[in-house]
C-alpha cells in the first residue's frame, strides 16, 4: 500500500511555503492513487530476504547474548567452583563456564577456551552448547571453520530438541550448503523447530507453504503458520498475516482482521505493518478513517526507516492533515526518504534539454 512523491523544493528559511508547493501537493496526491500493489510486492520480496538472512539470526541462542549465568562467574572462586561441578558432569555448569569465556563481563574473550566447555556440555546432552559449537565451526569463531563439523553439531542440537539447532540445520538444507539441497528435509526440520516454539521456524514454514518449496502450496497452511509465529512474537509473520487478510489468501478477506494483524506487527517493530495500518486509517478500510491515526503510524514507520512512509508524512505536514502544517519538517521527511533510497523523494534536477518548440 502506499504513495510515492517527488521532492522539488528545499526551503531552508523555515516554515514559509515554497513557491512550487501547490505543484508538489498535486504530484503527491496523484501518487497516492498507486494503491496496495506496491507494499504487497515488498511483502513477497521481504519474505525471501527473511529466509536467507535467518541463518544469522540468533545462531547459537545464548552464545551471542549476555546471560546472568555467565555474570555470576566473574569471580575466580565462582569460576573454579563451576569448573569442578562441570568435571562432575553437571551440565549447566559446563555451559556457564563456556558462556563465561564467550561473553565475559570482565577480562578478554577466549572463544577457544569457550569451545572446550561447550564441547563438554554438548557431550552431556546440552543442546544449546552443541548449537554454540556449530556456530563457532560455521563461522570460524575461535575454531577453524569447518562446515561438516558444524552440521554434525546442529544435528546433535536438533536431536536434543533445541529448536534453534533444527532451524539452522533447516536453513542449510534449504540453501544446499554442506548437504544436498532438500526442501522436504528443510520442511521436516522446521516443523520440529516450530513445535519446539522456535517461532522464526513457523514464519519460514509459512513461506514454504506459500511458495510451494518442497511442499504442496497451501495458502491456508501458510496463514496458519504465520498466525502461530505471530502469536509467538514474530513481527514479520504478523505483517504477512495482515496482508493475507487484506487479499483473502488462505483466509476469508477481512480488512478489519488485516488491520488487527498489521497493528500487532507494528507494535512488535515491523515498519511495514505500521505503514499498511497508516494507509488503512488514511482510507478508512477496516478501521474508522482518521487522519490523525494515519499520520501517527506513518511517523512510526518513518522512524523505522520506511522511505515511502516518510514521503506520506511529508504530504501530511504540507497539507496539515492530522498534524500541524510545517513545510520545513516536510522537507526534512522528504530528505530522509531520499537518503533511504526513495528516488522520487529526492530533489529534481533541472532539465538540460532545451524547451520544446511551439507547434504551429
For residue 295, being part of any structural domain is answered with yes
pLDDT at res. 284: 95
For residues 238 and 247, give the distance between their C-alpha atoms in angstroms, rounded to a whole number: 14
For residue 187, being part of any structural domain is answered with no
pLDDT at res. 213: 84
Total count of domains within the chain: 1
pLDDT at res. 20: 38
Phi, psi (degrees; rounded to nearest 5) at 253 = -60, 125
What is the enclosing helix (H) or strand (E) of 293? helix 291-303
For residue 336, being part of any structural domain is answered with yes
pLDDT at res. 295: 96
For residue 313, being part of any structural domain is answered with yes
| Tens place of pLDDT per residue across the chain (360 aa) | 332 222 222 222 222 223 333 343 333 433 332 333 334 433 433 443 344 334 334 444 445 444 555 556 878 899 999 999 999 999 999 999 999 999 888 788 999 999 999 999 999 999 999 999 999 999 999 999 999 999 999 999 999 999 999 999 999 999 999 999 999 999 999 999 999 999 999 999 999 999 998 899 999 999 999 999 999 999 999 999 999 999 999 999 999 999 999 999 999 999 999 999 999 999 999 999 999 999 999 999 999 999 999 999 999 999 999 999 999 999 999 999 999 999 988 886 433 344 455 454
Instruction: For residue 189, give Cα distances in angstroms to 15, 132, 200, 250.
Output: 57, 18, 12, 23
Range of the domain at 302: 1-35+290-347
For residues 83 and 69, give the distance between their C-alpha atoms in angstroms, rounded to a whole number: 13
Query: Per-residue DSSP letters for 252-277?
Result: ---HHHHHHHHHHHHHTT-HHHHHHH
Give the CATH number, domain containing residue 307: 1.25.40.10
pLDDT digits (tens, 9 = 90+) for 65-79: 445 555 568 788 999
Contact status, residue 21 vs residue 319, Cβ threshold 8 Å = no
For residue 26, being part of any structural domain is answered with yes
pLDDT at res. 104: 86
For residue 304, being part of any structural domain is answered with yes
pTM of the model: 0.77
pLDDT at res. 347: 82
pLDDT at res. 13: 23
For residue 58, being part of any structural domain is answered with no
pLDDT at res. 107: 80
For residues 97 and 86, give the distance between their C-alpha atoms in angstroms, rounded to a whole number: 8
pLDDT at res. 172: 94
Amino acid at each position: 500500500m502506499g504513495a510515492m512523491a517527488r521532492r522539488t523544493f528545499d526551503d531552508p528559511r523555515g516554515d514559509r511555503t515554497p513557491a512550487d508547493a501547490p505543484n508538489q501537493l498535486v504530484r503527491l496526491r496523484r501518487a497516492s492513487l498507486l494503491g496496495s500493489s506496491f507494499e504487497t510486492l515488498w511483502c513477497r520480496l521481504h519474505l525471501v530476504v527473511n529466509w536467507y538472512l535467518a541463518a544469522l539470526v540468533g545462531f547459537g541462542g545464548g552464545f551471542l547474548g549476555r546471560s546472568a549465568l555467565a555474570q555470576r562467574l566473574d569471580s575466580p572462586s565462582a569460576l573454579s567452583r563451576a569448573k569442578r561441578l562441570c568435571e562432575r558432569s553437571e551440565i549447566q555448569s559446563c555451559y556457564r563456564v563456556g558462556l563465561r569465556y564467550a561473553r565475559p563481563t570482565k577480562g578478554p574473550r577466549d572463544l577457544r577456551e569457550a569451545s572446550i566447555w561447550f564441547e563438554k556440555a554438548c557431550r552431556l546432552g546440552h543442546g544449546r552448547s552443541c548449537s554454540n559449537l556449530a556456530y563457532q565451526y560455521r563461522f570460524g569463531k575461535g575454531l577453524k571453520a569447518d562446515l561438516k563439523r558444524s552440521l554434525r553439531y546442529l544435528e546433535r542440537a536438533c536431536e536434543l530438541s533445541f529448536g534453534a539447532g533444527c532451524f539452522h540445520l533447516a536453513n542449510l538444507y534449504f540453501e544446499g550448503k554442506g548437504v544436498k539441497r532438500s526442501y522436504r528435509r528443510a520442511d521436516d526440520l522446521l516443523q520440529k523447530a516450530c513445535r519446539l516454539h522456535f517461532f522464526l521456524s513457523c514464519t519460514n514454514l509459512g513461506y514454504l507453504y506459500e511458495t510451494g518449496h518442497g511442499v504442496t502450496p497451501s495458502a491456508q497452511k501458510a496463514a496458519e503458520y504465520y498466525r502461530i509465529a505471530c502469536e509467538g512474537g514474530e513481527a514479520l509473520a504478523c505483517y504477512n498475516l495482515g496482508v493475507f487478510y487484506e487479499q483473502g489468501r488462505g483466509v476469508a478477506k477481512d480488512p478489519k482482521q488485516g488491520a488487527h494483524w498489521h497493528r500487532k506487527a507494528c507494535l512488535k517493530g515491523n515498519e511495514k505493518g505500521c505503514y499498511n495500518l497508516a494507509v488503512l486509517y488514511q482510507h478508512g478500510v477496516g478501521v474508522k478513517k482518521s487522519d490523525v491515526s494515519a499520520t501517527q503510524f506513518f511517523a512510526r514507520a518513518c522512524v523505522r526507516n520506511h522511505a515511502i512512509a516518510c514521503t506520506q508524512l511529508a504530504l501530511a505536514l504540507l497539507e496539515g492533515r492530522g498534524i500541524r502544517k510545517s513545510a520545513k519538517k516536510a522537507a526534512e521527511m522528504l530528505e530522509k526518504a531520499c537518503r533511504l533510497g526513495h528516488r522520487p523523494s529526492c530533489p529534481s534536477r533541472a532539465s538540460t534539454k532545451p524547451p520544446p518548440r511551439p507547434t504551429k
